[in-house]
Amino acid sequence: MPSVQDLRRRVRAVKNMRQITKAMKMVSAARLRKATERVTAARPYTNKMLQILGDAARRSPDYRDPLLVGHERQEGHKERVVLALVTADKGLCGGFNTNLVKAAQEFLRQNTDKDVELVLIGRKGCDYFRRRPVTVRREHIGITGSGKVSVTDVVEIGQALVADYKSDEKPVDRVYLLYNEFKSALSQRPVVEQLLPIGRDEVEAGQTDVLIDYLYEQPPQVIYSELLPKLIENQIYHALLESVASELGARMTAMDSASKNASEVIDKLTLVMNRVRQAKITREIIEVVSGAEAL
């Protein structure tokens, strides 16, 4: 049985850990409020962009952009797919990263007949798949580590994915995005969305019932060549905002559970320490009494 001094050291160590977990919970809660505000503020921009593209698509039904309709498949050609996986740069956030990795592995199992490559956004995904027999196309680290999303990083990721899709040598047939969708601080759901090709149905889903009359100074190919990459970048930006909010919510929940577990451990160790101390005192009393009777 451990001594009283050892138990006191363990209680002191657990108390120090509880202070850290409580502080991390408070920081995550403060950042979560701002992160949810960013997610909410980004939605009207996405809806308006889809509305404009939907109206433009109805006015040019015969225009076929590669980002909208996809590539022409050759017979015997093995489909090439890119999966952009968004994970966290830090740990201590419960099952946030684990659920994403499991979803990515399930995606790979369901697409064994295709040539799948990964674009890893976040340190945790990079650390995991570096040691696995998968093809990693690119890595982006430090994108969401500060709790904020830089537009410069989003543009870089979006332009690289569009360039992969439009490549003349080995074009990518489809691009998917896997991230955690923020539901609440207690609930995050892994979501797989198809980025490319966008699909005319998805664009026209954002159109309004009333056909708004626009005056176009450029032909459709110029308009689409500008707006479609912006739509891809906006989808990536929104996914990163969702991921940041989900990470903060998961970390807040995990640190709250850790603090409660630490309190339970402290109570158990204190009870054991009191029993050990009581047994020590009882043993000393017995030794004193036995010595007195011997005299």
CB 107 within 8 A of CB 178: yes
Which of the following is catalytic: 52, 93, 118, 161?
93
Burial class of 290 by CB neighbour count within 10 A (0 to 12, 13 to 18, 19+): exposed
For 199, the token pair is 């699909």
Strand partners, 177: 84, 193
Length of the chain: 295
Q: Which of 139, 112, 135, 115 lies closest to 127 in space, CA to CA?
A: 139
Q: Has 126 been annotated as catalytic? A: no
Q: Which phi and psi angles does 69 have, rounded to 5°? A: -105, -15
**Cis, peptide link before residue 197, omega less than 30° from 0:** yes
Residue 54 and residue 207: Cα distance in Å, rounded?
4
Residue 170 φ/ψ region, left for φ over 0, alpha for ψ in the -120 to 50 degree band, beta for the rest: beta
CB distance 129 to 94 below 8 Å: no
Beta strand 187-196 with 174-184 is: antiparallel
In degrees, to the nearest 5, what angle opens at C-alpha 260 toward C-alphas 257 and 261? 85
Which amino acids are annotated catalytic?
93
